[in-house]
Structure formats: structure tokens, C-alpha cells
Structure 1
């Protein structure tokens, strides 16, 4: 069985509502251009999944409409054919959206017939892999959708997810599972609907070490339904001062960090499904899982991994909350002082990326990729001083790594529940531990080839993956 869902920038959903639910009370329509994410195997169910990604909304103009009232709309399809041609060249899909301002709160039998013909037209023009997506906005504000995979086969969208400063989920039906008493007090603070959202979410955590370990502990205790954990490293004695649940026995046996995380979450008994990947996230085996997520926490300290997640956030409209911690021991006038900066940066359309903020270094990322893919060549270049060596181990203290993880969780709660108010989202937050103060560094807008390139945002599947050569 194949399942389907949709991700959209909030600005596109606002545009759809403004165009389709007008004050005249008539039905209106629009064309919608989509990128596509095809997932062969969902990490939690093993089923196939297709995710549609809204790239553009093009209202059907008045001169295209042949008739319209509060119960129907008809329009010429000439433009649909021309959009199919453009989509074929760009690797996109074409769909439609229309409204039922006073009509049924669901697709009508006439909708069924009309859309089946559009699906036939799309596949005749663009091949049997072409999809025809249909969105419906009801007068109540509810939004529904479905995907025609052929003129005779249609899949309802399980969820329509918006990304922006506030993350919203429009579900086909509410989770009918009984409330877990373990979440009662969380519900008192954040609402029962927050608990239901957490239970439905697919959250990825890249890195199960210093910041990833306490973050996973919190997500599990908050009742998240599905966790995918990515980390290729095993437990070492130097990890034990900050890796929650890890023991000397784990370090002696070289147990994988993802195994420790899965074990500890399982011991909670709160029903979280866990999928683990003990490979670097760029490995092909990780792609379906990454693409299946609703959001991802980046807790990795490598530049190449951060650059991959940076691109993933914009190509696939999957928000990434990137965490970073830097501890330094400094000498101030003969006094030894510990300086610490914790950072939480949210990557999504409309926000500046890690490259624009100069958080990642592409040159270091290239060296990391060389070390991973061709260790012999890396060692040769290191010997000739063409690349950097391993350097000294960084200081690490569990209270600081846990604090940064909590900052990331707080930002997730804000975007799901708005506990700081509707305008309380913070795209880039830095905590100066020595000054007991938080800052919000900005980023100059520049012609970035990732976050400021419309062809990339919502593009979905491209070859090579994420447009990366390696």
C-alpha cells in the first residue's frame, strides 16, 4: 500500500485560502505546481509513501472560467495542458485546487469524474508516472487533498503540513487512540491537541551523542510517536560524562550509540516507535528515512552532515533544528575561565541557511567527505599539510550539552504550540553561558544557492540526491 501526504509553505496555504474562499461566495479554482518525494519504504511501516511539496499556486483567471456559482465551477483546460508541458521539463507535477464555500465538506461525485479525466490527460501527456493532485478548501476552512495515481486509482492525503514560523498539521481524521495518563500534566500545560500532535509526529535525530542524547530523552518523555535516530559511532569511555543511559559496559563492548538510545527510549514504555541507522546520513540507506520525517534535529558536529541537512530542509520542506555547542577554556588576566556558546538554528523556507550564517565551512566539509570516502588519500594530504589533522578533543560538560538540547526542544514547542505567542519563533538563538544571556544573531541576505534559490525550495527528488555530486 502507498500512503500520501503534503507539505507546504504557510504563505502558499494563505494564498490558496485568499483566492478560493472569496467574499462573493462562489467556487473558485487554482492550479498548483508540486515537487515530489517518492519514498520506497517508510522506516516505521515498510510501506511506500509519496509526499507532495507545493512550489507555486496559480489562480484560474476570470477569462478561463466558463461558469461558476456557490455550488460548481467549470473552466477551460488549455492552461492545464501547457502547465503539464512545463512540469515535464522541470520534473514537477501539476494539480488543481478548488473550493466548496457552501457545498459538501468533501469531494463530490462531479469532482471525481472531472479529476479522473484530468489524471488521464496528465498521464497521456507526461507518462504513467505523472500524478494529478487535487486540493479542496471548504467554507469552514478545512483543507483536504488526494492524489490520482491513475484515472482509476486515488489516494487520500493523510496530512497536510505547513512549514513557516508556526507549524500546523491538517489531518484527515483525528487520532482516535485513548489519551495516555503519562501525558496528562503535559496536556495541562500545552493542551491535549499538543499531545496528539506529538504522538503522530515522525522526528529524526541526527547524532545521538552529547546534545542528541539528552534531546532523545526529552522527546521520548514527551510522547513522540516515531523517532528515527542516525549515528555511525559507538560508545567510548570519553562519552560517558554526557551520554544518557550509556555505561562502562557499553564502552567496553563498543555498543553503537543508536542502540543505547533505542534501549533507553524502550525502557520508558511510552509507546515510541524507534528506527535506528548506524551509518552516516549521506548513505543511500538513510534517504527514505530522512525524507519521511516531519522535522529533524541536527545534533551532529561534522560540517558535511550539516551541509546535507541544510539542503534537505529546503529541497523537501522538512524543518531542521540545528544544535551547536562550543566550549573553550580561556585565560583572562591570569584567571582560567570556561567560555561556552550554545546555538539553535531553524532551517526552513524563509529562514537563512547555515551557509549564509557562516555556521558551516564548505572547505572543512570537503575534507570530511574525503576522510570518509578515501582515507588513504586524506592521510596523504594530511601528511603534506593540504588538509587539517584531527585536532585536540573539545571540552564537554553534560549540563551545557543538556541545556542546548532543551533550547532545541523549546523551539519545537513554540512552533507547534506558540507558548511564547504567535510571533515568538526564533530562527537563530545563541546562549552565552558565561554571560547568562541569549542573543539573536541575524544573517545578511545574499544570493545563496540554497535558501535563496526558488528552484531548490520544494523541489523534492532530483538526481543526484539534493543536487550533491558526492
Structure 2
């Protein structure tokens, strides 16, 4: 059975609330432009899933309304037809939102009839793949939704959530109100609602190495309900100083890092469902899983992988918390010094991306892609000094990798629970361990084709994937 959910940017939610719930108490309506994600196999349910993301909102104007009061609204649909033509050209879907300011808190039989007819109109115009999402805003703050896949079938939205700034669940599937004893102390600090939210979240961790390993451990201990772990590498002896749960035996047999991570989470017995992927995240077999997630932690150190997650955050409205750690040993005045810098960057619409923050270098990412897809050509260019050679092994200390992982988890907690207050979000933080200071570096003011290109925010599926050529 197909499931469905929806993501808003917080600004779009506020705009719809202001447009649909007005002081006059009458019903109002708007057209909503959606990006669509069609997931063939959800990694946790194994079934298909449709995710829609709000791209734009176009209020139904007064001259389009035929009649409206506190119990009904009727309007001409000429603009709906013209929007369908634009949708076919540009690859989006058109839906509607309307209000019940004084109830009922459900779609009415008249809503059913009107929306089924709009769905029929959409499919007659744009073909059987056209869908017609519908949202209902009620006077008490309730928000409901469904997706008409045919004029005879509408899939209810199991979850409606916001991203950008604070992450909220406006509507969610029914989950137990009981607080599990294992998380009772966490509930005392962050509240039972936080525990329920974390239990419902679908969280991805890309990279199960130095920073990914302690991060995965913390997510499991916090009660994460669904966890997807991506890493193609095996455990090596040099990893054992920082991979939680990894043993000499794991290194001796070349066990996959994702296998160790899954084993350690399941040993906790706290109910986390874990799925693992032993491929580079750009591989086609990872796409459904990545697009199914609500939040991703990026713990990879390659520019190509970071560049892919960078785009994913904006195209699919899936926040990415990117983690980085740099340890450098230098000689000064005959003294050996260690410099340790940890970075946590949150990627989502409204925040600058990793390219603008000069974390991802597109030229290096292209070289990494060449090495992965065409090793002979890479080595030929390396011999001719057209590409950079491999770096020396980087220093690694478990206390620093764990500290940076903790910084990333703290940013997740802030956006779900606002423990620092409603203005306490930090989009980019660098901790100078040596100097006992945190900094908030800015970003390039130049317009970017990713974070400043509003046309791609919430676009969902496009060809080629994430608009990446090659």
C-alpha cells in the first residue's frame, strides 16, 4: 500500500495560515505548487511512498470566488487549468488548500466531490501520472492533507512537517503516548513529545567512520525509530581507536563498517530499525533510501559525497547536518602543537550551502568522481599532474571525533525542541578545541545555483537526479 507525506518550508506554512484563516471567519482557498518524490521501495516499510513538497502558494483571488461564507467556498477553476499547462512544461504538480475556520476538522462530502473532479481534470489534461494534493486548515490549528492519485482514490498524508529554522510536525500518524522507561530521564530533560518525535524520525547517517560512529551510538541511545546507515568501507586496524564497538576481529576479517554499526545498535535492544547500504551514496540503489529520510547527518570526508548531500537538502527539503573535523600537527619554535577544528553545518532552504561556505570544492569533487568512475583516466591525469594525489593519512583522536558528533546531535535537538530558545539555531559552527572557542563563520555573498536558487527548493524528482550532469 502506498503511503504519503508532505514537507513545508516554515515560511510557506505561515503564508498559508495567514491566507486561509482570516479574521472574517469565512472559508478561503489557495493553489499550491508541489514538487513530487516517487519512492518505489521505502527502506523501512518496503512499500511505495509519495512525498510532496511545497514550492509556491498562489491565493485564490477575490474576483475568482463565486461565493464564500463560514461553511463553504466556491471559485472558478480557469486558473487551475492554466497552472496545469505550466505544470506539464516545468515538471511540478498543482494542488489546492482551503480552510474550515469553524469546523469540521475533516474533509466534507462536498470537498470529496469537488476534489475528485479537480483530480479528473488534472489527469485528463496532464495524463494518468498527474496527482492532486489537497490540504485542509482548521480554525484550531489542525492541518490535514491527502493526495488524489486518481479521481476515485485519495491517500491520506501520514505526516506533515516543516523544515527551515525549527522542525515541527503539524500532523503525524498515531503513535503511543506512553514514555518508554529507557528514555524516562531524557523525557525529564527534553519532554515526552521530543521522545515521540525522535521515535518517528527517519534518520540517515552517511559515513560510519570517526564522526559517524559516535553519532550513530548517540542516536540509538536517544531512541531513534528508523536509522539508515551508508558506508562502503571495511573496518581496518587503524580505525579501531575511534569506531565504537569495532574489534580486532572485525578488522581481521574486513567486516563492513555498516555491519558493525548495525550490530551495536541492535545489541542495545531499544527498538531502532536499522537498514544499511554498502555503496557510495550516489549509487542508484541508495536513492530511494536517501529520498525517504527526514534528516541526514553527513559524516563523509569526500567533496563529491558532500556535494551530493548539499543538493539533496534543497531539492528534497531534507535537512542535512554536515560534520567535519580537521586535526593538524605542526612545529612552532621547536614545539609540536596540535590544532583541532570541528565544524557542524546545517543545510536547508534559508541557510547557505557547503559551496558558499567553501567546504566543498567542485574541482576536487570532479576529480573524486573521475577516480571512482574511470580509475585509469584518473591515474593518467595524476601522472601528468592534472589532478591532485592522495593525501597522507589524517590524524584522528576519539575524543575529538566524539565531540564533533555531539555538536551535530545538539543541533538536531535544538531544532526539534529549542532548548537554547527559539532564536538559538546555529547554521554553521566551528569549534576551535585548542583555543576553547566556538566561531560562526559566514558564507560567500555571491548568488549560488543551489542555496540561492529558489526554483529548485522542494523540486523533488528531476532529470538528471539532483540536476547533476555526469
Question: Aligned runs of 1:173-252 on 2, under 5 Å?
Answer: 173-176=173-176, 178-252=178-252
Answer whether contact 1:321 1:344 (CA < 8 A) is retained: yes
Answer whether contact 1:7 1:317 (CA < 8 A) is retained: yes
Q: Which of structure 1's runs of 4+ aligned residues deviate more than 6 A? A: none
Answer whether contact 2:142 2:171 (CA < 8 A) is retained: no
Question: Aligned runs of 1:321-360 on 2, under 5 Å?
Answer: 321-360=321-360
Displacement, 1:328?
A: 0.2
Deviation string 1:329-376 (CA, Å, 9 cap, x unpaired) is 122222111001000000000100000010111111011111111111
Answer whether contact 1:330 1:338 (CA < 8 A) is retained: yes
Total equivalences in the alignment: 470
Secondary structure at 2:350's aligned position in 1?
Answer: coil
Answer whether contact 2:147 2:157 (CA < 8 A) is retained: yes
Displacement, 1:85?
A: 0.5
User: Aligned partners of 1:322, 1:253: CA distance in 2, in Å?
Assistant: 30
Question: Aligned runs of 1:260-409 on 2, under 5 Å?
Answer: 260-409=260-409
Deviation string 1:184-204 (CA, Å, 9 cap, x unpaired) is 000000000000001000000
Displacement, 1:267?
A: 0.3
Deviation string 1:220-272 (CA, Å, 9 cap, x unpaired) is 00000000000000000110000000000000000000000000000000000
Residue in 1 that maps onto 2:85: 85
Question: Aligned runs of 1:406-445 on 2, under 5 Å?
Answer: 406-445=406-445
Residue in 2 that maps onto 1:130: 130
Displacement, 1:455?
A: 1.5
Displacement, 1:386?
A: 1.2
Secondary structure at 1:331's aligned position in 2?
Answer: strand
Q: Which TM-score applies when normalising by structure 2?
A: 0.99
Displacement, 1:177?
A: 6.3
User: Aligned partners of 1:450, 1:437: CA distance in 2, in Å?
Assistant: 30
Displacement, 1:103?
A: 2.0
Residue in 1 that maps onto 2:453: 453
User: Aligned partners of 1:390, 1:444: CA distance in 2, in Å?
Assistant: 28
Secondary structure at 1:31's aligned position in 2?
Answer: strand
Answer whether contact 2:131 2:148 (CA < 8 A) is retained: yes
Secondary structure at 1:434's aligned position in 2?
Answer: helix
User: Aligned partners of 2:448, 2:402: CA distance in 1, in Å?
Assistant: 32
Displacement, 1:445?
A: 2.6
User: Aligned partners of 1:315, 1:250: CA distance in 2, in Å?
Assistant: 37
Displacement, 1:444?
A: 3.1
Residue in 1 that maps onto 2:119: 119
Secondary structure at 1:227's aligned position in 2?
Answer: strand
Displacement, 1:385?
A: 1.3
Q: Which runs of 5+ in 2 are unaligned?
A: none
Answer whether contact 1:352 1:445 (CA < 8 A) is retained: no
